[in-house]
Amino acid sequence: MELLMQKLCMGKDLGIHGNLFGGIMLAWIDEAAASYAAAICHSPNMVTVKIDEVNFKKPVKIGFQIRIYGDVEKVGNTSITLNIEARKYNVYSAEETLVCTTKIVFVRIDEAGEAIPIPQPVRERYNAT
């Protein structure tokens, strides 16, 4: 998996239990994955169509770094599916712990918001095995 984004868990990101708020984590994942999908598909016009089941496996406390990783699961005609992992990083021990996993699907759209094909070379690159 590739490192897509790093964030620092700050006070403003916490929920009432003192853990990183789930909705903040989802926003980070969506942003990191959208940026990755745009780069892979050579188009900034990628919209999120589905975020799969999200498993929050471990709490994240203030001061931890969050590293968001991703890879391409598949590229369809107009859609791309990414596997995403968020890991917390302990700067003292350099240890990474998996905190959250999901899959996320983006669709390439035109100016009218209609789905349009992802460029053929991208589809061939990720589907040729």
Ligand X SMILES: CC(C)(COP(=O)(O)OP(=O)(O)OC[C@H]1O[C@@H](n2cnc3c(N)ncnc32)[C@H](O)[C@@H]1OP(=O)(O)O)[C@@H](O)C(=O)NCCC(=O)NCCS
Residues found near ligand X in the complex (CB under 6 A): 47-50, 76-79, 105, 107, 109, 113, 115
The smaller minimum CB distance to ligand X, of residues 10 and 47, is found at 47
| Closest CB 23 distance from ligand X, rounded Å | 13
First to last CA, the chain: 18
Of 95 and 124, CB closest to ligand X: 124
Residue number with the smallest Cβ distance to ligand X? 76
Q: How far is the CB of 6 from ligand X (least distance, A)?
A: 24
Strands (E), the chain: 2-8, 46-51, 55-56, 65-75, 79-90, 95-108
Q: Do 51 and 70 contact (CB within 8 A), yes or no?
A: no
CB of 101 to ligand X, least distance (A): 17
Rounded Cα distance, 4 and 47, in Å: 17
Q: How far apart are CA 101 and CA 83, in angstroms?
A: 8
Q: Report the residue number, 9 or 72, with the smaller CB distance to ligand X.
A: 72
